[in-house]
Amino acid sequence: MADSESNVEAVPADKADLVLQASWEIDAIARMMHDHLPIDAEALVYRSMMRRCRRLASMVMSAIGETNMGTPELQAMFDDGEVARV
């Protein structure tokens, strides 16, 4: 992950709204894919990936839409269930 300094408050409201809409759509697509995968060993990895996508989308929604959400809470959301890097 790249280290960067950013200030969400500096993001114009229309851009923040667009990011939220995109996050909602990512969440909806991942949920639909997760719910329509078969429940078997072969689909397990895909089901896990869809859950991770939903978790990341939720983190983005919280970062943009919840002004009281602090960096430690967002980091915990990111770290929770983080896919191992190879």
| pLDDT of 5 above 70 | no
85 pLDDT above the threshold of 90: no
**Average pLDDT of span 36-55:** 90
DSSP letter, residue 66:
-
The one-letter code for the residue type at 6 is S
pTM of the model: 0.74
Which of residues 4 and 85 earns the better pLDDT score? 4
* Six token digits for residue 21: 């809409």
Which residue type is seen at 68?
N
Q: Which residue has the higher pLDDT, 67 or 55?
A: 55
**How many percent of the chain have pLDDT more than 90?**
36
- Mark out the alpha helices in 4-70 (DSSP H runs): 13-36, 44-65
Q: How many CB atoms lie within 10 A of CB 74?
A: 15
- Interhelix angle 71-79/44-65, rounded to 10 degrees, is 170
